[in-house]
Amino acid sequence: MNYKMKSARVEKGLSQADLAQQIGVSRQTILLIEQNQYNPSLMICRAICKALDRTLNDLFWEDSKNGK
């Protein structure tokens, strides 16, 4: 699971459908990204980061210290 992305989305008070609509993808795409079953393009990652006020490092890069 991409808990960092899901947590940031919930903090912003957005449903999966809300986020999907903001960035122009389907709700299923957001679901699959959060479940680590879909590897989004860099363009989608950047759109998600912008919508959630986070950086790529915050949401998508693994923490090399503990593998998360």
Band (2; pLDDT cuts 50, 70, 90): confident
Supply the pTM of this predicted model: 0.87
> Hey, where are the domains in the chain?
3-59
Is the CATH number 1.10.260.40 carried by domain 3-59? yes
Q: Residue 68: is its pLDDT beyond 70?
A: no
For residues 9 and 66, the answer to whether their CB atoms sit within 8 Å is no
Q: What is the pLDDT of residue 61?
A: 82
pLDDT digits (tens, 9 = 90+) for 3-56: 999 999 999 999 999 999 999 999 999 999 999 999 999 999 999 999 999 999
- pLDDT recorded at residue 62: 72
